[in-house]
Amino acid sequence: MNTEQSPRLVSRQSASDTIKGAAFRQRNSHLLTASAQTCLESASVSLEQTLASLQPRDQQLFRLRLARWFQNLYDGLWPVYGQRADFNAFIGRLVQLMATYYVKRPDELKTLDLERDLEPDWFQHESMLGYVFYVEQFAGRLDKVQDHLDYLQEMGVNYLHLMKVMQSRDGENDGGYAVTDYRQVDSALGTNAELQTLCSDLRERGVSVCIDLVLNHCAREHPWALAAQAGDEHYQQYFYLFEDRTLPDAYERTLPEVFPEFAPGNFTYDENCRRWVWTTFNHFQWDLNWSNPEIFLEIVEIMLDLANLGIEVFRLDAVAFMWKRLGTDSQNQEEVFDLMQALRTCSRIATPAVAHKAEAIVAPDDLIRYFGVGRHHGKVSNIAYHNSLMVQFWSSLASRDTRLMTRALSEFPRTPNSIAWGTYIRCHDDIGWAVADDDADSVGLNGPAHRQFLSSFYAGEFTGSFARGGIFQFNEATGDRRINGTLASLAGLEQAIEWGNTELIDLAIERILLAHALICGFGGLPLIYMGDELGLLNDRAYDRVADHANDSRWMHRPPMDWDRVANRHDATTIEGRLYGGFMRIVQTRRKTAQLNARYDTDILNTGHPHLFTIANRHPLGTLACVYNFSEHTQWLNVQPLYDSGVVELFDRLTAQEINVTDDAIELPPYARLWLS
Ligand code: GLC
């Protein structure tokens, strides 16, 4: 080997030399194109000064990470901003920003960065369990969350999504998604110092904190928007403002409506600016103009600042909408993936412990792009919500027929092995019936009719329905009716309790456990919405809170019921039965290597219309999961299981051997088996 290229020789060089050194350049030439290399060199000019206060080894680490990931950054930003004359200066400011926050990063977090460099697949591990809540509904305030850490730890939660953490506007605020200050904790919940302490205490217990980063819009009361309203041209460029309706009308021709009932249309006239403002969601949420690189820099600074407080996962909210293009639905545009790749890379360089989770509730072919396809392969985000798995669960549960689910999920493209699906059965949002017409056609269903059936089933209108949901956002133009409801209320527990029917209660419990087993056994990162482990019902009194009254999604964001938590070990109570079953599932998951998200999950088509079967592949052998979506006992021929690679019919959930009778196994109502 040529000694000039030897890694040992390079590591002995002084830190300040590293980027500029010929040996370094040569060694990294496979990572960087010539144009990226030139751009990096010009962007690194004043790095020495910015990093000067750090130990040489610390400086060197930053430079190594910058060189390692710079091409991804460049490739993300060039297509979006590359035509600008100030592109190199922009990259220079970005590199300075990353270096500045790297310098400020607390040592404890720098150690975590190193740990994650060594274990970049941490969020894929089978031991991962996510838990999600509104702080106000769980504990009232951030400091009170501390009182319940033992409960979270008992469940094995190691990923905690805290909602509505940053300051949002007073009054209606879309459940906190109308942010007025991205860097300040909501004064009703506590302080930044309390958030920092909570993150640190949780980290000590092995729990990573996730919060939202609302990328598509800010509140009309955010200082940027207020400045725009006051006529400041710099800040007017942060938004999409139009003097008349010509362009808004042209865009509207192909734009859908997200909240057709309470916010029809996508533009709002602002009296102060005397302009039409792009407002995809509510009139008080102003869409940010990502074609302006200042927005990119602003958001990166916010992200790095929050990461330095101890946030380990960013849920990137409503990312599908970040780029607008005339003549399209202005969702999932190529630039979205460029920008997300660049944001992801900024975290990798300056705060490598941080992971990104994409919130994109879009069709399967688009959804997969949030992990990165083609030139973005594996570079866009680490985690994305598996919306289709969620929708198909509810579809099969209502129809007792799994053929649509099997078909739709088998058609899913393969994912890169560096990512994890966020598997969930419901979240703080409503459920929209994202069933593709061609999937429905292929199993003999009519798409629109099936979606209508699902709405009326879960609204409890359909004869014989067990569900007690509510309609959210009836769209007259499309006929769409989305659904609100907690897991337990949608799965029949509310009705069964009201009717005092113990048999129906038993069935509802089995349905809820089926849901937990499905999302925990899919080889992703399961995200449990607070209270679903105990069967919390819909909060019918949500409208007594003035700020919630206008948004019926609060029906399924009930306050935590700490009496039920206290009953959780009492197997004679409903919550005790649910919690016991839930714990068996999560404890088994933790010991099941096949459920690491890195390995492939295949959908098995057994031809059985009531069972859903998957195979989680692993070098140790296949884990087959079989779920009965009906209230009747079903039998499954074992051959497809053996064909899938299962050698022994041992159910890990009950730790029992499964009997085979006439080449078939028995599945009681709503049974779930994890066979390996
Ligand atoms: C995301 C949030 C949802 C919010 C929307 C607009 O989808 O989950 O609650 O209404 O973004 O910010």
CA dist., res. 618 & res. 105, Å (int): 38
**Any idea what the Cα angle at residue 195 is, between residues 193 and 199, rounded to 5°?**
120
Q: Which residues line ligand 1 (CB under 6 A)?
A: 174-175, 177, 214, 281, 317-318, 359, 429
φ/ψ (deg, to 5) at 81: -120, 0
Q: Half-sphere exposure of 575 toward its Cβ, with a 13 Å CA cutoff?
A: 16
User: Per-residue confidence at 21, pLDDT binned at 50, 70, 90?
Assistant: low
Residue 359 is a catalytic residue: yes
Minimal-distance CA residue to ligand 1 atom 8: 429
Which strand (E) or helix (H) includes residue 277? strand 275-278
Given 359, 575, 602, 631, which residue is catalytic? Answer: 359
Cα(263) to ligand 1 centroid in Å equals 13
Handedness of CA 170, 172, 176, 177 (dihedral sign): negative
Minimal-distance CA residue to ligand 1 atom 10: 174
Handedness of CA 305, 307, 311, 315 (dihedral sign): positive
Cα(33) to ligand 1 centroid in Å equals 38
Residue 301 is a catalytic residue: no
CA dist., res. 116 & res. 208, Å (int): 12
Minimal-distance CA residue to ligand 1 atom 11: 318
Ligand 1 atom nearest the C-alpha of 259 is 10
Ligand 1 atom nearest the C-alpha of 177 is 12
Minimal-distance CA residue to ligand 1 atom 12: 177
CA dist., res. 117 & res. 124, Å (int): 14
Is 530 a residue whose pLDDT tops 50? yes
Ligand 1 pocket test: pick from 162, 282, 315, 317 the residue with the most ligand atoms within 8 Å of its Cβ: 317
Nearest to 555 by CA among 534, 574, 531, 576: 531
CA dist., res. 173 & res. 553, Å (int): 13
User: Per-residue confidence at 23, pLDDT binned at 50, 70, 90?
Assistant: low
User: Per-residue confidence at 25, pLDDT binned at 50, 70, 90?
Assistant: low
> How many beta carbons lie within 10 A of that of residue 668, not counting itself?
12
CA dist., res. 381 & res. 322, Å (int): 15
Minimal-distance CA residue to ligand 1 atom 9: 429
* pLDDT reported for residue 16: 46
* pLDDT reported for residue 562: 98
Given 312, 317, 430, 602, which residue is catalytic? Answer: 317
Mean of all residue pLDDT scores within the chain: 95
Reported pTM: 0.95
* pLDDT reported for residue 13: 43
Q: Half-sphere exposure of 431 toward its Cβ, with a 13 Å CA cutoff?
A: 32
Ligand 1 pocket test: pick from 174, 215, 426, 472 the residue with the most ligand atoms within 8 Å of its Cβ: 174
* pLDDT reported for residue 9: 34
Is 329 a residue whose pLDDT tops 50? yes
Mean pLDDT of the 570-590 span: 98
Ligand 1 atom nearest the C-alpha of 285 is 12
Q: Is 130 helix (H, G, I), strand (E, B) or coil?
A: strand
User: The tokens of 55 are what?
Assistant: 């130990």
Ligand 1 pocket test: pick from 217, 266, 281 the residue with the most ligand atoms within 8 Å of its Cβ: 281
Domain boundaries, the chain: 17-104, 595-675
Q: Which CATH class name applies to 595-675?
A: mainly beta
Is 296 a residue whose pLDDT tops 70? yes
Cα(214) to ligand 1 centroid in Å equals 8
**8 A C-beta contact, residue 490 and residue 483:** yes
* pLDDT reported for residue 261: 84
Cα(226) to ligand 1 centroid in Å equals 22
